[in-house]
Every structure is written in structure tokens, then in C-alpha cells.
Amino acid sequence: MTEPLFYQCVVLDNQDPMMLGRVRARLLTDNYLDMVKSFKPPFNEEKDKWTDRDPFIFNPLLPYFLYQVPKVQEFIYVLYYNKDFKYRNQFYVQAMFSSPVNAPFEYYVGAQKFTGVGVQFTAPKPIKNQNGTYASIATEGVFPEPGDNGLLGRGNSDVIVKEDGVLIRTNKYKGTLNPQNTPIGNNKHGFLQLSTFAFDKKIVDNKEIVEFDEVVVLVNYLIEYVIINPENTENSFSGYVYLYKLKSDPRVNSKNLKVDSRIDDLKSLILIKEFMALPLDGTISFINNFINLINSQNKVDGRVIFVPQSKFPIYYRPSNAMYEIISSSPQANSNNKAIENTNNIYKKIQLNATADFKGYGLIYTLNQVGFPRRTKKTLENVFKYDNTPSTYGSFGADKIFLLSQKSEIPGKGKINFDGTLYGISNGKYVDEIIPKTSSLVRGEELIELLNLIVRFLLTHTHSFPLLPPLPVGYDGTNSSIILTELQNAYNKILNENIRLN
């Protein structure tokens, strides 16, 4: 039988009195109590552990400068300098885990999932799919990527060394790790990042970008015109022009209402105008004059038709029956004269000579035909790229402190750093450090306030010698604005979440 290269152990104790990262552990094939009973004189659990008599001590195989100690009841691999003399010169390395989500602790049995006996254990949820994509996009960035080097903590902190940077993180995921749940990345984590970029991107100018967004509005009124004898050959046309009030409905908003929309159930007749025996040009003028009348006037024949605030938008178009003739082909309609006449009229119906829409259109406000649009102006940066490599450093957290062992703010006292060698506690921050630090100043905002004050000092005038200055300087600087800016300075100029002493 081939002798194993590594042996499997479970950790019994990790509190090395020498602080060298040693552990007490037993081989899975050994019985701890039987071994203890076999000692002569008997092994004393209180006095003999961590001494030369203790056979269960394993030294870390990793150098001391890579300090990583497993927890009690976790799985380790051990190897011997000479396997014929076990319990002397024996070393260990932390065994693998069954999943990254078990990093806080994994019982030694479950940690054997990917060993020869692991087929009997249920597989944990994978972090990635077989094609390399994440099973959940929310997990991306939580764990080190292949190709990067990582120094991982047991919980929510790690150090990632990339090809072009170093990232120290804490609070990198939300909540706690749980094998039953998908880890969710936390974008509000604390971090220190140092990066090298192959080129430097700089803002050298900016340009104004103007965009137009269509505004969707409900159409309030509808004008429809119809020729009742479109087939006549005598150049003598009769018909009607109607004004309808439209019900509030998504079908009649400016996006959905079309020249051929059928909305009879949403129309209420307000006004009707008849014309008879008019020539082609007269018919066109009659319809256009009616559209212009409704556009420009609130009264028709002395009768109040509109409340100005709810008049627009107004849509004008041919009736459905007339539009069917306009849009039909000669093959589908035996009366080609009707098609010719209705098209000649339709092409010249418009609010005014400058309107782009012919035959139909939306009057969204007085004298304006088209679709209401919102103008949006933004400044877009113009960049320049420099091929010289550059380095960037950033520090992000909810609260940031820049602390000096030697400095103190007059009147606030010096910070006592005793007991902080292994880290500053939350209580220490709240009870002492915050009261003894001050908010950091935002430079550009401070310059703006100083510039405002200086302008007033240089441009103010007095109504008479020895009297207080007038509140407005001759360049328009106002003392009340200065007072307002001073009141806003606590939030605008000071950043209370970045503090220093």
C-alpha cells in the first residue's frame, strides 16, 4: 500500500502560547483518548499541552510572515519530515474549503467535499457558471478573480494585488456569508486603492450638447374636415368642419393620436361650420381659416368656446371617411376624381405657411404646430489622452479620519492613542476622536466665498461718510447673499465626514 504524502487532521486547539501560529490537532485516523492513555507517565491535559510532551503540536508550513491559523474543528493537511517518526517535526497547511462563503468557518467534515470521500456530501452552490459568468451578477467583485493575488480575511475584508494596482477593502459584501444565500456585493464598502494606468485622461475643454425630448401630452380638442361631394367635376365643393372636445384617454395623447385614429367614442361635438359650392381654393381657405380661428380666438360668433388654460393642444385632420379616400389607390377606388380632389385639398390644409405638417397636425400651443419638446442642455467634457503612465490613490469610507500622533486642535485636547495598537474601536472614534477633530475644508467652495466677500469689500459704497455701507455693491454684490453663503458654509464648505486633528 502506497504511503500518503499528506495526512488529514482536525484542529483541536489554536491558542499557541508562543504566538507562532502552531496548532494542536489529531489525525482523523487516530483516537485522541487512546493516545493520551498510552502515555507513561499519563498525559496531563492541563500541564502537558503545548509542552515537549505534547505529540499533537503541528508547526505551520508557511513562513511566519504569512500568518494564517485555522480555527478549532477545521480541516488541515499535515506532513512529516520523516513519517517513520511521527509527532516530531510535523507541519500543517490549511486545507481547502468547500465554498468561499464558508471562509468564516467550515467544519472539517464538510471541508472534505472535494477530496476522495467528498462524493457523499451535497455540492454547495457555485459562485460562477461553467462558462465563467457569475451565477448572480450581484456577487461580481466580492471574491478575487483568477490572475489576481489575494490576502483574504475570515470575514468582510481582504487585500487584492492586481497586475496594475493594490486594493484593500472592508465591508465588501452585505450581511453575512451564508452557504444557503448568494453573496451580494456592497458598493458602500471602505477601501484604499492604489492604481497605475497606462495613460492619463485629462479634461481640456467642454462643449454644450443640446437635446430635444418629446413631451407626451393629452390632446384637448379635435378639428375634422370633410368634403361631401369629392367626386364632382365642376370645381364646386361642399362640406363641413367640426370642432370636438376629447375625453381624457391615453388613445388621444400626442404620441398615440394619428391622422387615421378611430376615436368616435371619445369625441363630443362643440361646433360645426358648413360650406357650400366653393371652388377648390375657396374650400382650402375656408378650412384653413377655421383652423386659424380656433387657434387664435377663444370666442366664435360671440360664443365662448375655450377656457384659455385648457385650450391646447388641438389636433386637426380630415375625417376618417375622407382619409380613406385620400389614402386609397386608384385600383381600390373606381372614382379617381374623388381621390384627385381630396388629395389636392388635403395637401394644402395647414395652420400657417410655415407649418411643416400638411393635411393634419398638432397645435401644441398658440401658432405652433408639431410635437411639444423639452430642450435639455448639458456640458460634455472634451478629453485629452497622455500616453505617460500615471498613478492614482484613493481612500473611501463612510467616515475618514486623518490623525497625527503629535497634533492637537487648540481647545479640544490631544487624542490618546493608548490601546489602539491592534486597531481603533468604534467607541474610541465616537467618544474621543470625533470630539477632538474638525471637519475638512473644501478648497474651491471656500475660494468662492472669499471671492464674494472680497468683491463686496472692493465695490461697496456708503451713502454718507461714517454711515454703514449700502447692502449692494456697484458690481451687484449683495451683503444678504454673503450672509446666506456663510450660513450654508457648514454644509457647503465643511465636510464633517472627513476629519483631522
Which pairing describes strands 373-386 and 390-396: parallel, antiparallel, or unpaired? unpaired
Three-state secondary structure call for residue 273:
strand
Instruction: Give the integer Cα–Cα distance in Å for 152 and 145.
Output: 12
**pLDDT average, residue stretch 375-392:** 85
Quick check: 283 and 239 in contact, CB under 8 A?
Answer: yes
pLDDT at 199: 80
Is the per-residue pLDDT at 479 higher than 90?
A: no
Pick the closest to residue 501 from 420, 426, 411, 423 (CA basis): 411
> In Å, what is the CA distance from 389 to each residue of 133, 166, 198, 381, 483?
31, 16, 4, 22, 46
The number of C-alpha atoms within 13 Å of 196 and in the hemisphere containing its C-beta is 9
- pLDDT, tens digit, 9 for 90 and up, residues 67-79: 999 999 999 999 9
Most confident of 8-17, 102-111, 389-398: 8-17
Hey, is 397 helix, strand or coil?
coil
Band of pLDDT at residue 143, cut at 50, 70 and 90: very high
- The pLDDT assigned to 25 comes to 95
CB 306 within 8 A of CB 247: no
Least confident of 132-136, 281-285, 295-299, 335-339: 335-339
Per-residue confidence (pLDDT) for residue 166, from 0 to 100: 95
Q: What is the pLDDT of residue 331?
A: 63
Contacts of 389 (CB under 8 A, 6+ apart): 196, 197, 198, 199, 200
Asked whether residue 179 carries a pLDDT value surpassing 90, the answer given is: no
- Residue 225: the pLDDT is 96
Q: Is the dihedral of CA 393, 395, 401, 405 positive or negative?
A: negative
Whole-number pLDDT of residue 334: 61
User: What value does the mean pLDDT of the chain take?
Assistant: 90
Highest mean pLDDT (candidates 10-14, 442-446, 451-455): 10-14
What is the separation of C-alpha 194 from the centre of its chain, rounded to a whole number of angstroms?
23
Q: What are φ and ψ of residue 79, in 5° steps?
A: -145, 160
| Side-by-side strand order, sheet with 494-500 | 400-402, 494-500, 438-441
Concatenating the DSSP letter of every residue in 14-55 gives ---TT-S--EEEEETTS-HHHHHHT-SSPP-TTTTTTSTT-T
Angle (CA) 119 120 125, round 5°: 75
In angstroms, rounded to a whole number, what is the distance separating the alpha carbons of residues 42 and 47?
11
Kindly state the average pLDDT of the residues 123-141: 91
Residues 6+ apart with CB under 8 A from 362: 219, 254, 257, 313, 314, 315, 369, 370, 371
Using the predicted structure, report yes or no on whether residue 396 has a pLDDT greater than 80.
Answer: yes
Instruction: Show the CA angle centred on residue 34, arms to residues 29 and 35, nearest 5°.
Output: 75
- Model pLDDT, residue 1: 52
Domain range annotation of the chain: 7-95, 127-198, 221-371, 399-501
**What confidence score (pLDDT) does residue 213 get?**
85
Average pLDDT over residues 158-185: 91
pLDDT the model gives residue 122: 81
pLDDT at 150: 93
pLDDT of 197 strictly over 90: no
Per-residue pLDDT band at 60 (split at 50, 70, 90): very high
> If pLDDT is split at 50, 70 and 90, which confidence band does 48 have?
very high
pLDDT digits (tens, 9 = 90+) for 260-298: 999 999 999 999 999 999 999 999 999 999 999 999 999
Q: What is the mean pLDDT of residues 473-479?
A: 80
The sign one gets for the Cα dihedral 307, 309, 315, 320 is negative
Instruction: Work out the angle between the directed axes of helices 336-346 and 320-327 (0-180°, nearest 10).
Output: 110
